[in-house]
Amino acid sequence: MRVLVTGAGGMLGRDVVRAAGAAGHDVVALARAELDVTDAEAVASALGEARADAVVNCAAWTDVDAAEADPQGAAAVNAAGAGNVARAAAAAGARLVHVSTDYVFDGAASAPYVESDATGPRSAYGRTKLDGERAVAAAGGSHAIVRSSWLFGEGGRNFVATVLALGAERDEVTVVSDQVGCPTATVHLAPALLELAAGEAQGVFHVAGGGRCSWHELAVEAFRQAGVACRVLPCTTAEMPRPAPRPAFSALASERPESPALPPWQEGLAAYLAGRAVRA
């Protein structure tokens, strides 16, 4: 396959580029400096010229708290930008794999969300991502919208990297224990996106690390696997307010047989830590 990756300089984008290369695909990697997805003309001409079989859209405004202060800025990338990529992919005859998020759900559930569950984003970020999903579907091309969650990967700003950095400096950290989700290693998600790119199934897919846990449990397991002696104290979301509300429960499951299943999140953590050790 010839695969074009947008947002190729991001945490997930870099792993998609690596995974595509490792799988023997021909890769066109476009970071933000090479292709701004908010520029409809630039997107149309880049996708028109690339003659790609598939496009994996990893470009996004991912700062959840900053989106609350600048919803228009977030919408330009996550909603309008996604629409630009989707229309250009449809015009070029390329299949689109578009990445979305568990934050499109309100978090009031007590069992994992499946693809057909009602959405209800609680944050500006979640609303812009949901608008992006709708724009992708409306463009009318062949597409897979992949909702994933709690990503961590090499080189990106993510919870696991942050907590490990804190653990190296402190004896004790405090982490929220009343938000539950599915931590997902980008190194596991990337090949799954390529699998969906090579297929033909349409619509929304939930693809996240197996199992589920709280941020507190994730921190405990990260320290355990990394051999860091740092105590993790639990706290509530109310005790640690943030600008953007987060869903209390956003674990994902799939009701679709075509959805690739990822290894348990603990294995994702192990793969991430192994990658860090190699690159250190």
Which residues contribute to the site for ligand NAP (CB under 6 A)? 6-7, 9-13, 32, 35-38, 58-62, 77, 81, 99, 101, 129, 148-151, 156
Q: Which is nearer to ligand NAP, 2 or 32 (CB)?
A: 32
Shortest distance, position 174 Cβ to ligand NAP, whole Å: 20
> CB under 8 Å to 47, separation ≥6 — which residues?
4, 55, 85, 88, 89, 91, 92, 94
Instruction: Respond yes or no: is residue 103 known to be catalytic.
Output: no
- Smallest distance, Å, CB 171 to ligand NAP? 27
Closer to ligand NAP by Cβ: residue 13 or 167: 13
Instruction: Report the candidate in 269, 182, 196 with the shortest Cα–Cα distance to residue 227.
Output: 269
Question: Which CB atom, from 52 or from 99, has the smaller least distance to ligand NAP?
Answer: 99
CA distance 38 to 66: 18
Distance (Å, rounded) from C-alpha 28 to C-alpha 94? 13
Structure tokens at 251: 């674990």
Rounded to a whole number of angstroms, the minimum distance from the CB of residue 82 to ligand NAP is: 8
Q: Which amino acid is at 53?
A: D
CB of 81 to ligand NAP, least distance (A): 5
Please give the residue whose beta carbon sits closest to ligand NAP in the complex.
10
Own/partner contacts of 235-241, CB < 8 Å, gap of 24 or more, are: 235/174, 235/175, 235/176, 235/177, 236/176, 236/177, 236/178, 237/176, 237/178, 237/179, 239/176, 240/174, 240/176
C-beta closer to ligand NAP: residue 161 or 231: 161
Active site residues: 125
